[in-house]
Amino acid sequence: MEVKQVLLYRRDLKMRKGKIAAQCAHASLAVFLRRRLPPAGVEVRRDGVILDPERALVIPMDEAMAAWVTTRFTKIVLSVEDEVALVEAHRLAVEAGLPCALIRDAGHTEFHGVPTLTTCALGPGPVEVIDAISGPGGAIATKLA
């Protein structure tokens, strides 16, 4: 199975490159961390040592996510026109059953203190499912970053 993750950011916000990178990183990681299970009753070992369960990350992954983390971690960064397109991409990902994360920046360093939707991660998931949303000819118009 060929898998990838697409990270979408809003062009209309005219974010600095560093801000785009940080927001995309938040989205990519949030896909996994939001799936985290409470560690109660889970014994996690590393090198034969039992780790503190409160510090353990137990993240259930579907087949595509597992394939992604054990292979190439393919990520594509694309831009969308505005908030409407970003939210629609997220809605379509949820509808398709893709792991996804929509990121709302707190507005501390940009956006004049106004919480703002900035980025969305689609997947990791099957390439054909993600491309139907954000690829060439997909449901959402995107541009290469």
Question: How high is the mean pLDDT of the chain?
Answer: 92
Q: Is the pLDDT of residue 143 over 80?
A: yes
Of 30, 22, 9, 17, the C-alpha closest to 124 is: 30
Q: Is the pLDDT of residue 18 over 80?
A: yes
Helical H segments across 34-82, by residue range: 63-69
Q: Which domains are assigned to the chain?
A: 3-144 (3.40.1490.10)
The tokens of 75 are what?
A: 């990520």
Which residues contact residue 53 at a Cβ distance below 8 angstroms, ignoring those fewer than 6 apart?
39, 40, 42, 43, 44
pLDDT digits (tens, 9 = 90+) for 89-137: 999 999 999 999 999 999 998 999 999 999 999 999 999 999 999 999 9
